[in-house]
Amino acid sequence: MSVYSREYRLRNKDVNMFMRLRLSRLTEMLQEASIDHTEQLGAGREKTLDRGLLWVVVQQETEIFRMPEYDEQITVQSWPGRTMHVLFPRYYRLLSKSGEVLAQGSSLWTLVDENSRKIVFPDRFGIEIPEETTGFETALPGRPGKRDTDHSRQFQVPFSYCDLNGHMNNTRYFDLAEDTVTLSSSGRIPSRIRTEYANEARFRDIITVSWTEDENTAYIAGDSGKNCFRMCLEYKEQDQK
C-alpha cells in the first residue's frame, strides 16, 4: 500500500499564541506530504519543475477533530486518489502518537505551465499518479459559496509570502485569514476549513480582502481584479469535542 507517512514534533514555529498548531503550518505539512509522496511516485522535479510544469492546489477541505499542541508528536499520512482528467485528488489524515485521528481531509491538485500559467494535460508529459484506496477517503473538497461581506481592506503580497512557483503560497492565505478575522485571535478552535484558489496572486499584487464572521464561522475572499481565493472557516469552543 502506497501511503506516505511522516512524523513531526510540534515546536515553537509550528504553534500560535495559544500553543496550538497554526492553520498555515497544518496546511504546509499537508502540502509537504503531497510533494514528497508525488516525488516518491515518480513525478518529481525532473518530470515537472525542470520541464516548466508547476504543481498547484486548486481546492482543499479539512475537518479538524482536535488541534494538536506544542511539543506533541503527530503523524501526517497522505495518499493519491484517482486522477480526474487534469485534477489529482489527494487525501490526508493527521494522527496523534496514540493513533487518535486529529484531522482528515482532501485536496485537488493540478499542473500548470510555468510560462502561460495555464493548466496542462498530464498524459502529454507522461505524468501518471497511481490511485491508492485505504477506506479512509473523505469527500472531495466542496467550493465555498460566495457570500456577502461587511468588511474589507487592501493587502499587498509581500516577497516572503511567495514560493518557487512565483506566487503567494496557498498556506499563507491562512495566515492572511487568521490575521484578518477575530475568531482565531480570540482563541476559538477551527473545526473545518474549506478553500478554493481560483487565480494566483503574485509578488506586490494588491488584493482587496473582504470578509464577514459570526459566532462560529468566518468567510474571507480576495480579489485583485479577478477572484483569487475564497475561504470558509468554521470554529468551535475550546471545550467542545
Picking from 141, 175, 190, the residue at the C-terminal end of a domain is: 141
> 179 and 206: one domain?
yes
> 99 and 130: one domain?
yes
Residue ranges in 59-146 assigned as alpha helix (H) = none
**In sequence order, which residues have a C-beta less than 8 Å from that of residue 7 and are 6 or more positions away?**
73, 74, 75, 76
> 207 and 126: one domain?
no
What is the pLDDT, as a whole number, of residue 111? 96
What is the pLDDT, as a whole number, of residue 238? 65
Q: Which three cell numbers stand for residue 35?
A: 510533494
Rounded CA-CA distance 34/31 in Å is 5
Average pLDDT across each block of 10 residues of the chain; the chain has 241 residues. List them in order. Answer: 93 97 97 95 91 96 98 98 96 98 98 96 94 97 92 97 95 96 94 96 97 96 94 82 45
CB 196 within 8 A of CB 143: yes
Helices 172-180 and 23-40, packing angle to 10 deg: 170
Q: Which three cell numbers stand for residue 38?
A: 508525488
> 153 and 77: one domain?
no
Picking from 118, 141, 164, the residue at the C-terminal end of a domain is: 141
Picking from 141, 173, 190, the residue at the C-terminal end of a domain is: 141
Rounded CA-CA distance 139/137 in Å is 7
What is the pLDDT, as a whole number, of residue 239? 52
> 54 and 149: one domain?
no
State which H helix or E strand residue 151 sits in.
strand 151-156
> 125 and 136: one domain?
yes
> 26 and 73: one domain?
yes
**In sequence order, which residues have a C-beta less than 8 Å from that of residue 144 and are 6 or more positions away?**
194, 195, 196, 219, 230, 231, 232
**Structural domains in the chain (count):** 2
What is the pLDDT, as a whole number, of residue 241? 45
What is the pLDDT, as a whole number, of residue 44? 87
CATH number of residue 158's parent domain: 3.10.129.10
CA 94-99-104 angle, to 5 degrees, is: 25
DSSP bridge pairs for 219 = 212, 232
> 48 and 161: one domain?
no
What is the pLDDT, as a whole number, of residue 92? 98
Owning domain of residue 158: 143-241
Amino acid sitting at position 138: T
Nearest to 62 by CA among 233, 220, 229: 233
